[in-house]
Amino acid sequence: MSTVIYKTGMDCPPLKPGELRIYGTKTCPYVQRCLLLLHAKDISYEFISVDLEKKPEWLFKLNPAGKVPVLEQGSKVLYESMVLFEYLDETYGAEKLIPSDPYCKAKDKLFIDVVTNAFMPALKIMYRSGNRKDIWMEQTGNFRRSEAELKERKTNFFAGDVPGFADYMVWPFFCIAFCAPVIFKDLKAPSSEDFPRLVQWVEAMKKDKAVLETQLEKHIIDYWSRATNEMPGVVVR
């Protein structure tokens, strides 16, 4: 994987014939959704890092909104994490991560949407905007909602016995949230006493192959460690 971060004024590297390429940044939860699927299905890809504060001009040619993730393969260009996840799941591998049952798929999408919208304020902690204690307190309802969802499904993962569509789509947001108390000591991590199923799910997800390979926890803590003087040199478990 290239370590170059492409910024304004830099040319886009040439795309090799047939190669699947993802543009983004590894601390972005939406990008991580796609990377999790790629690793879960052992799909070969090239990752191109872009600076989201100094976006290269060619990013807007791929996606007029200038957002990531963006997928490029030959003449094919797609964006939006849900679109990419569905496209990749349908295109690669016989075993699908997205439920084939329309109702189950719809239920998963509703849950994903609720979790994503609820966690958006928590991203402000990552970018050091707003009162982080107040923002963190607001997340209690999201933890409680997810705990109830696991209890209702009566499974270790949202997808069942193994991680699937719903798990990989919401994991990046939970990972960022659970990293926050590691960096900011004034925040209290969700406990197994209050959220037993959710904490168990988080620990199980940390052992998943795709999660281990994409290393979002490391990327987030490295980012925060550079951005704050509160806890330099933090060690990742």
Supply the DSSP string of 206-224, one letter for each residue.
HTSHHHHHH-HHHHHHHHH
Give domain 102-228's CATH number out of 1.10.3720.10, 2.40.160.50, 1.10.10.10, 1.20.1050.10.
Answer: 1.20.1050.10
Residue 233 reports pLDDT greater than 90: no
Q: What is the pLDDT of residues 70-104, one digit of tens each?
A: 999 999 999 999 999 999 999 999 999 999 999 99
Q: Are strands 76-79 and 46-50 parallel, antiparallel or unpaired?
A: unpaired
User: Where along the chain do the CATH 1.20.1050.10 domains lie?
Assistant: 102-228
Which CATH class name applies to 20-91?
Answer: alpha beta
Tally of CB atoms within 10 A around 220? 25
76 touches 22 (CB < 8 A): no
Tally of CB atoms within 10 A around 157? 19
Q: Which helix (H) or strand (E) holds 78?
A: strand 76-79
Q: What is the pLDDT of residues 157-214, one digit of tens each?
A: 999 999 999 999 999 999 988 888 888 888 888 999 999 999 999 999 999 999 999 9
149 touches 172 (CB < 8 A): no
Q: What share of the chain is helix, strand, coil (3-state, %, to 5)?
A: 50, 10, 40
Instruction: Supply the residues annotated as catalytic.
Output: 28
User: Where along the chain do the CATH 3.40.30.10 domains lie?
Assistant: 20-91
Question: Average pLDDT, whole number, for the chain?
Answer: 91
47 touches 22 (CB < 8 A): yes
pLDDT-derived band at 1, boundaries 50, 70, 90: low
173 touches 116 (CB < 8 A): yes
- Its pTM stands at 0.91
